[in-house]
Amino acid sequence: MKIVKLFTLFLTILTHTSLSFAAGENPTLMKPGWSFQSFFGKFDRASLQRGYQVYTEVCASCHSMKYLSYRNLAEEGGPEFSLEQAKAIAGNFEVVDGPNSDGEMFTRPAKLSDKFVMPYANEQEAKVSNGGAYPPDMSVLVKARAGGADYIYSVILGYEDPPVGMKLDDGVYYNKYMYGNKIKMPPQLYDDLVTYADGTTATPEQMAKDVTTFLAWTAEPKLEERHKFGFRAILYLIILTILVYFSMKKIWSRIETKI
């Protein structure tokens, strides 16, 4: 009977770890459900690839992605583009390199080893171009915000008309989920904004889900590895518990017979 109790304890710990994910979130956020959040969760490969497309075609003109290199796009556990595809993607961008033998800087197509090209030269330029607001770097944004993926998804889709009587300055938009309800990012998504390579219909909800999935991966590229490791660790602990239980029973049974 004790062994049953131990199992129940393990199960409680398991469910508890996935529940604590939800604990810190704002209850009013939209929760579309994510394939990667459960205990055994994995990223949806096709969604990651579509999400990259949305990021690069829509968000990358304002939001940088400073920790990612083009080669990451081909690595295991990510969008898993082929090396050829990742090379072709990199080749679409220009980076400044140098100096050459004449002491001059020059531009060349990006390589797999290059970091994602930044949209602005520096923070000041980014602010000036966005009415004084800084579009935050997106590499770890999902981890940096309470509510994580649900928050990002909600903000992208959370534009509404302001309540009657609320005056907004030029370039300021009403957003249900943004802190203080005011955001200096214009609404981004509308039907068919991108043409998905895999033929998926590009509704705002679909694009928001895909780009958020992509951002969840950039924020935690080793998530799948962590889940695999966690699963093995739990399995190991269960087996160990069973062994310990039976050896304990055996040892104590001998002592009991003497009494």
Tokens 């602010």 -> residue? 127
If one asks whether residue 32 binds ligand HEC (CB under 6 A), the answer comes out as no
Cα radius of gyration (the chain): 25
Binding mask 35-54 for ligand HEC (x = CB under 6 A): -------------------x
Dihedral angle over CA of 218, 224, 226, 231, nearest 10? 160
Pair 151, 145: CB distance under 8 Å: yes
Residue list 52-91, contact with ligand HEC (CB under 6 A) = 54, 58-59, 61-63
- Which structure tokens are listed for 156? 């992208």
- Window contacting ligand HEC (CB under 6 A); options: 69-77, 88-96, 130-138, 223-231: 130-138
Nearer CB in complex with ligand HEC: 90/211:
211
Kindly tell me which of 82 and 92 has the beta carbon lying closer to ligand HEC: 92
For 259, counting Cβ atoms within 10 Å of its Cβ (0-12 exposed, 13-18 middle, 19+ buried), the class is: exposed
User: Does 211 sit near ligand HEC (CB under 6 A)?
Assistant: yes
Smallest CA-to-CA distance from 217 within 164, 158, 140, 154 is with 140
- Nearest approach in angstroms of CB 68 to ligand HEC is 15
Tell me which residues touch ligand HEC (CB under 6 A): 54, 58-59, 61-63, 130, 133, 135-136, 145, 152, 155-156, 183-185, 188, 211
